[in-house]
Structure 1
Amino acid sequence: MLGTGSFVRSPGRTSERRGLLALVLLTLLGALAELFQGARLVHAVGRALVRLRILVLLLLGVLRALLDALLLVLVGLLLLGLFGLELFELLANGGRALAASPEEQGPYDDERGCKQASVHDHLSGFLCEFYAEPRFDAGRGPSPHRACYHSDAVEEPRSSIEPAKVRLDKWLWAARFYKTRSQATEAIGAGHVKVNGQRAKAGQSVSVGLVVEIVKEQLTWEVRVVAISDKRGKGADAAKLYQESDESRGKREQRIAELRAAAPAYLPGRPTKKDRRSLDRWRDRGDEG
């Protein structure tokens, strides 16, 4: 029979349990405090990262603005180097033309006796001066911009202007020896074109008086350059660029005759019904004779 003393709690065990419970509570409180401090630290780090990101974006914006400004300065220096003071003169005259009223401008200039240039005339005339392209219309005469603004003397019209230098492949294309410039370049590279008896290069310049020898499809042309052009025109215009000697033309015609004589006989192939009837009639006449 069990005694009643075994169910009685001892004071020592109770105190141990309370101490253990207090220790657990203190540990939990410490952990919660550490978690709270960690959350505060993470929040602070996040705010710092956001501020750093904003600062980096601001720095990138400033750097981009500086690069754009530097690019504009470089473009301005490039334009200044290309056009020089003519650009500022163009802007100044264009601004005066815009600011002046129609009454102040007038349809004609009394001192010069010609029509005053507008902003469009200033700009187009400036570009023509830069690219050295003459502006002349046979119906209206010289450009008012050139006559009234750039020069005191009216320029004389020129019907045809020959370029200073023309590449050999481009001249051969303009003279209609080849359909395309690439074909002319390939022929020169293959040694089918000679200049003054020497093997030529596609990029060498052509001048009046040079003797050019072209070998094409077993035929040879020996021509002398009499004009320079980089524009491909009609056959009559192309023939004005060179002069072929009678000897060269005779050799080529003789070579054409030789090639025709050496060509194989033409064999049409299987005869038609009409041809067979003709052959039969011819055979019948032969048998009767």
Structure 2
Amino acid sequence: MSEGAARIRLDKWLWYARFFKTRGLASKQVSGGHVRVNGDRVSKPAHSVAPGDVLTFAQARQIRVVKILDVGKRRGPAPEARALYEDLTPPPEPDAPPAPPRVGARPTKRDRRVLDAFKKPDA
């Protein structure tokens, strides 16, 4: 393979690898400066990437770190897309505390039934 054939646009590769639902969303993420290639911030969707490059970007409230293994030929099914990269994302912390209860929030239906049963005298 020649060097030119082994490279692809960054937004296109992110779409091929199924990190974004549309190529436009991938392009918007790159244009916003939210993607790093080998540690350098990239702001142009046409930036070319090749196998061996490491991408860092935010996706669904987590930071993804992936290494490109192949450029791909098309946006195929999920198993084909997973073969395009190696996921280097560290696992989430298992000891994350649960979310605190909402104070002053509106009671749920179950809470209202308990309150109603408490307020109404039994006949």
Between structure 1 and structure 2, the one with the greater Rg is 1
2:21 matches 1:183: no
Percent identity over paired residues: 35
- TM-aligned CA distance change 1:177 to 1:220, over 3 Å: same
- TM-aligned CA distance change 1:224 to 1:270, over 3 Å: closer
Give 1:282 shift.
5.0
Give 1:212 shift.
0.5
- The answer to whether the 8 Å contact 1:166/1:230 transfers is no
Q: Deviations along 1:176-200, whole A, 9 cap, x unmatched?
A: 1111111111110111111000012
More helix by share: 1
- The answer to whether the 8 Å contact 2:56/2:64 transfers is yes
Corresponding residue for residue 279 of structure 1: 115
Secondary structure (helix, strand or coil) at the match of 1:279 reads: helix
Q: Deviations along 1:14-63, whole A, 9 cap, x unmatched?
A: xxxxxxxxxxxxxxxxxxxxxxxxxxxxxxxxxxxxxxxxxxxxxxxxxx
Aligned partner (choices 93, 105, 112) of residue 254 of structure 1: 93
**How far apart, CA to CA, are the structure 2 residues paired with 1:166 and 1:268?**
51
Look up the equivalent residue of 1:176 and give its one-letter code: R
More strand by share: 2
Corresponding residue for residue 144 of structure 1: none
- The answer to whether the 8 Å contact 1:170/1:230 transfers is no
Using CA pairs under 8 Å that are at least 6 residues apart, name the structure with larger relative contact order, 1 or 2: 2
Corresponding residue for residue 37 of structure 2: 195
TM-score by length of 2: 0.73
- The answer to whether the 8 Å contact 1:171/1:230 transfers is no
Secondary structure (helix, strand or coil) at the match of 1:221 reads: strand
The correspondence of residues 186-225 of structure 1 with structure 2, limited to 5 A, is: 186-200=28-42, 201-225=44-68
**How far apart, CA to CA, are the structure 1 residues paired with 2:119 and 2:80?**
58
Deviation above 6 Å: which 4+ runs of structure 1? none
The number of residue pairs the alignment matches comes to: 113
Secondary structure (helix, strand or coil) at the match of 1:249 reads: coil
Structure 1: give runs of 5+ residues left out of the alignment. Answer: 1-162, 285-289
- The answer to whether the 8 Å contact 1:175/1:241 transfers is yes
Corresponding residue for residue 231 of structure 1: 74
